[in-house]
Each structure stands twice: as structure tokens, then as C-alpha cells.
Amino acid sequence: MTSNLDGELTGKFVAAILGGVVTYLLTYLGPKAKLVVWFPHSFRYEQVTQGVTIETQSYGIQNLGRKTAEGIQIVHKRRPDFFRFWPLLNYDEGFSPSGEHVLTVSSLSAKESFSLEILSHTSLPEFQYIRSKEGYAEHMQFSLQPQLPMRHVFIFRFIFALGGVALIYICYTLGKYAAWTIQLIAP
């Protein structure tokens, strides 16, 4: 009777632990939205004789996650003089209770991106942050990189695959040697 009771308790304990692990995996390792922002272009043009200054700034915003980002807010200290989204998309414009200018884009699908171009005839508004309901956007470094020829990519992939196979073989051999050393298997 006690061995049956022990089996039941063990089964319930394993089910409880398994339920907690599955809940953790679904909550923290499930698909999420991940916004990134980069600043690919900025330019200042000054016409000294006429006293005119024009500044431009570009923002690239992309959702690298696997889930749609909802309620994306782009916040500046003050309203930009002129701005444009590319590709064209619907947005709401407003102000926060502290007086900051807020541009709100309703959603951004997974792997989707857009850019925001700002033009100012005095000075650029101070950028504050970009966020969605899932959290703040990460700043991503932006730089141009040359594209490698396909033959180089093929050679690198082949070398990496060969190294992976060699690593698996070495781990297998060491595991077999360790098992033989502690006499779990025959030589």
C-alpha cells in the first residue's frame, strides 16, 4: 500500500514540476516583440549669408521579434517642424502630460520596419525614446558592410559544419572514454 502511495505522490510531484516548467517556457521563452532603432542619416545645412539653418535626422525602426509590436510611441522633447513616415502609415500625434511630443503607430508586424524622416529649420527636437507595450526599443549600431561573394560564404559554411562534426565526434569519444574509465561499459 505504501509503494502505491509513493508512486502517486511522485507522479503528482512530477506533474507539478512539469507544469511549472511549461508555464515558464510559455511565458518567458515564447514569441515576443523586439523593437530596435538606428539612426542612418543626419545632416546640417547652414546658409551663413541668409542666416538659415536646416537640419535633418532619420530613424529606422524595426520589429525583430516574432510577435506584433502594439502601440509604438516615438517621443521627442518638442514637436518636429516637419516629419514623414516611409512607407506611409497611419499614426496619431499628441502630447504627453509632461509636454513631450508623441507619435503613436498602432502596430508593427514581425520583421516589419519603417523609417521616420525629420526636417527642422531651427534645431532638431531632442529625441527621448521609442517604446511599445512590450518595452523600450534597443539602439542598434548601424554601418554599411560589404557583401561577401557566395563562394566565400559556401567555404565558411563548409568549414563551420566540418568543425561541428569534429566537435561532436570528440565529445562522443571523450564520453565513451570516461564511461570506460569508471567501468560503466566494457572496453
What ranges do the domains of the chain cover?
Answer: 1-30, 35-139, 148-187
- Could you tell me the pLDDT band of residue 35, with boundaries at 50, 70 and 90? very high
pLDDT at 49 over 90: no
pTM reported for the whole predicted model: 0.67
Q: Which three cell numbers stand for residue 36?
A: 530596435
Query: What is the model's pLDDT at position 180?
Result: 80
Query: What is the model's pLDDT at position 144?
Result: 75
CA distance 74 to 101: 8
CA distance 113 to 23: 31
59-63, 109-113, 177-181 — which is least confidently predicted? 177-181
The mean pLDDT of 64-79, rounded to a whole number, is 94
pLDDT at 25 over 90: no
- Could you tell me the pLDDT band of residue 63, with boundaries at 50, 70 and 90? very high
CATH 2.60.40.1510 fits 35-139, yes or no: yes
pLDDT at 55 over 80: yes
pLDDT at 24 over 70: yes
Q: Which residues contact 137 (CB under 8 A, 6 or more apart)?
A: 35, 36, 37, 61, 129, 130, 131
**Percent of the residues in the chain that have a pLDDT greater than 90, as a whole number:** 60
Query: What is the model's pLDDT at position 3?
Result: 55
Per residue in 128-185, pLDDT tens?
999 999 999 999 887 777 888 999 999 999 999 999 999 999 999 998 888 888 876 6
pLDDT at 91 over 60: yes
